Chains A and B, each alone.
Chain A
Amino acid sequence: MEWMLHNLDEVWRLTVEHIELSGTALLLAVVIALPIGFLVAPRRLLDLPVLGVLGVIYTIPSLAFFVILIPYFGPGFVTALIPLVAYAQVVLVRNVVTGLRGVDRDVIEAARGMGMSRQQILVSVELPLAAPVMIAGVRIAAVSTVALAMVAALVNAGGLGELLFVGVSQDHMGKIVAGSVAASALAFAFNAGIGAIEARAHHAASGER
């Protein structure tokens, strides 16, 4: 722990890099997962193919991803980003779908019967009611993205993985501890932060104050 305390600025710099990488990946992943989720939710036939493919993508080792991407983007931020976005899809899409399907059918029927348009129902009824489950998906994806982003160091994209891998190769216990502790703290922070948003969404959706 000593090394970490003496090198807080370095650890902080790498933590910020790590946040940039995981945060960007998460944001992009959500933007992509939402339309996919909207498409799949009403069509159960799509469940198996779509979630199946996304699940398979999740199992592709990051190293393999990198080797494919390097000729186009080289070592760096984008090459690290793309696999992270891809890995997050399976959790996010699944939760968007589950969230939307979990909305009470009677509520939607009442909304239709009152004359709300498809779009109004989506925005005013389905999204607020599906939000808790969807945000839970974001929370889970955030934690796993923070963990997966450790490999960004392998392609010179920075982040806390640098501390871990360099520490291991140099047998530098201080760096190993620093990298692990910082990454855990980050994951914990994401979990708590997004968890708080999730709780508020849950209260709003069920009409508790």
Chain B
Amino acid sequence: MKLNQIAALALASVLVLSVAACQSESNQQAVEGQGAAAQSNQAGQDQAASDQASDQASDQAADQDTEQGDSAADADIGVAAGGPIVIGSKNFTEAVIVAEMYAQALEGAGFAVERKLNLGATDIAHESLVSGHIDLYPEYTSTGALTVLKLEPMTDEAEILAAVRDGYKEQFNLVWLDPAPFNNPQALATRADVVEEYGIETYSDLAEAAPNLVIGAPPEFYEREDGLPGLMALYGGFQFKEERQLDPGLRYRALNEGDVDVVLAFGTDGQIAGYDLVLLEDDMHLYPPYQVAPVVRQATLDAYPDVATVLNGLAPALTSEQMQRLNWMVDGPDKLEPADVARQFLQEQGIVE
């Protein structure tokens, strides 16, 4: 092969692949679009079809006008052109369970749904949503406020919700639907024997008893304002005998085996009930509340307003006790699959048959 031929082949391959990536999206839409057009023709009126098309077109135009994000692909990808609703999630158990619930609830209501779960970071999920590659995913109010919008921490649930609703709508044209009642803040958890030995119930108690104990948490905890520095600032004390860095997935193993005495946990972790652990009380309210809600693209809601109805209908059922129980079914000894756990729950709640 000549040098030129090799170079041309390489370039061609790269181009073909990039084009194919974009094409597959628009091909999908083209197919769906034809399906939608066929349905409206069956209804009988070419007039109606062109009305609907022009409505969609003007909605899209409105989107592009109001949107301050820079995703050029916005109008082409996803449900705005008639494809299935793409649901994403981050990659921990609770996120996947909740996303599965959203997906199955929508499927039960007759929507076509595609899943893109286990996205590795808030950034990845958020960027996917803004650029239209997913239509919605479950996010936590304080994560949205602190990590994405970079606001100051707040402790009032209503205040936070209002802040993220306004911020997301204005900056990204994204909508926060109703949050579930459960609060899943960061929390400090410990074993029952530690509680007995040192008589700890609250963070203030822990602040004093810290020099006797080993703590395990992810690296950011030791840096973040709402991590150990924040605790020290608000409560004083918190000088632990030893500070260990721990991947979240391994914390309970370490706690149970005595490698650490206190871990940074989430309020609805299944392991709390499952291993008979104790959540200490944040008596001075350092931690803002973390409520989960679907964050949805405006374009998706415009195309399918029922999405809001279905997901909002699901929200009230997710209490803290329920969430802990469901998490435990996946993380505990049963090791069930999140999809099955979600289905079972929806059936129990009568949201799905």
Q: Is the CB–CB distance between B13 and A168 below 8 Å? A: no
- Shortest A193–chain B CB gap in Å is 23
B10 in the interface (beta carbon within 8 A): yes
Residues of B within 8 A of A123 (CB): 1
Chain A residues with Cβ below 8 Å from B25 are 74
Q: Which of A39, A70, A78 has the most CB of B within 10 A?
A: A70
Q: Which residues does chain A contribute within 8 Å of B120, judged by CB atoms?
A: 63, 66, 151, 153-155, 165
Interface string of B184-227 (1 = CB under 8 A from A): 00000000000000000000000000000000000000000000
A75 adjacent to B88 (CB under 8 Å): yes
Name the contact of B252 in the complex, choosing from A72, A81, A168, A171 (C-beta under 8 A): A171
Task: Name the prevailing secondary structure of the B interface residues.
Answer: helix
B30-38, B48-56, B124-132, B309-317 - interface stretch: B124-132
Establish whether residues A168 and B123, one from each chain, have CB atoms under 8 Å apart when the complex forms.
Answer: no
A61 to B227, CA, bound (A): 25
Instruction: Please indicate the chain B residues that have their CB under 8 angstroms from the CB of A156 in the complex.
Output: 88, 116-119
Asked if B158 lies at the interface with its beta carbon under 8 angstroms from chain A, I say no
A32 to chain B, nearest CB (A): 5
B119 CB contact (under 8 Å) in A34, A75, A119, A171: A75
Are A34 and B127 CB-contacts (below 8 A) given A75-B119, A153-B118, A171-B253? no
Whether A171 pairs with B18 at a CB distance below 8 angstroms is no
Q: Within 8 Å CB of A67, what residues of B?
A: 121, 123-124, 127
Give the A-binding residues of B (Cβ under 8 A): 1-3, 6-7, 9-10, 13-14, 17-18, 21-22, 25, 70-71, 73, 77, 88, 91-93, 116-121, 123-124, 127-128, 130-134, 247-250, 252-253, 330-331, 335
Contact indicator A38/B17 (Cβ below 8 Å): no
Report the Cα distance A81→B116, complex, angstroms: 17
Chain B residue at smallest Cβ distance from A28: B13
User: Nearest chain A CB to B285's CB is how many angstroms away?
Assistant: 28
Query: Across the interface, do B331 and A168 meet the contact criterion of CB distance under 8 Å?
Result: no
Alpha-carbon distance between A31 and B116 when the two chains are bound, in angstroms: 30
What is the size, in residues, of chain A's interface with B at 8 Å between Cβ atoms? 38
The binding surface of chain A is classed by DSSP as helix
B331 close to A171 (CB less than 8 A): yes
Q: Would you list 24 pairs from A and B whose C-beta atoms are within 8 A, ordered by A residue?
A: A31-B9, A31-B13, A63-B120, A70-B133, A73-B18, A73-B22, A73-B133, A74-B131, A74-B132, A74-B133, A78-B17, A122-B3, A151-B120, A154-B119, A155-B119, A155-B124, A156-B116, A166-B118, A169-B91, A169-B92, A170-B335, A171-B249, A171-B250, A171-B253
Q: Does A172 contact B (CB under 8 A)?
A: yes
Question: Nearest B residue to A165 by beta-carbon distance?
Answer: B91
Contact A35 B253 (CB under 8 A): no
Complex Cα spacing A34 to B9, Å: 11
A residues 31-56 near B (Cβ < 8 Å) are 31-32, 34-35, 38-39
A32 touches B14 (CB 8 A): yes
Interface residue from A70, A78, A119, A162 paired with B2 (Cβ < 8 Å): A119
Tell me, in angstroms, the Cα distance from A12 to B262 when the chains sit together: 39
Partner of A74, one of B2, B70, B128: B128
Q: Does A23 contact B (CB under 8 A)?
A: no
When chains A and B are docked, how far (Å) is the Cα of A35 from the Cα of B17? 19
Chain B residue at minimal CB-CB distance from A153: B118
Indicate whether A71 reaches chain B with its CB closer than 8 angstroms.
Answer: yes
Chain B residues in 8 Å Cβ range of A74: 25, 77, 128, 131-134
Contacts of A166 in B (CB 8 A): 91, 118
Q: How far is the CA of A133 from the CA of B248 in the complex (A)?
A: 43
Residues on the A chain within 8 Å of B123, using CB: 63, 67
New A-B pairs, 20, CB < 8 Å, besides A34-B6, A78-B17: A31-B10, A38-B3, A63-B123, A67-B124, A67-B127, A71-B71, A71-B131, A72-B73, A75-B88, A122-B3, A123-B1, A153-B91, A153-B118, A154-B120, A154-B121, A166-B118, A169-B92, A171-B331, A172-B335, A174-B335
Within 8 Å by CB of B7, from A35, A63, A167, A169, lies: A35
Q: Across the A-B interface, give the 5 residue pairs with the lowest CB-CB distance, nearest first.
A: A154-B120, A74-B133, A168-B249, A71-B131, A78-B21
Contacts of A31 in B (CB 8 A): 6, 9-10, 13
CB of A195 within 8 Å of the partner chain: no
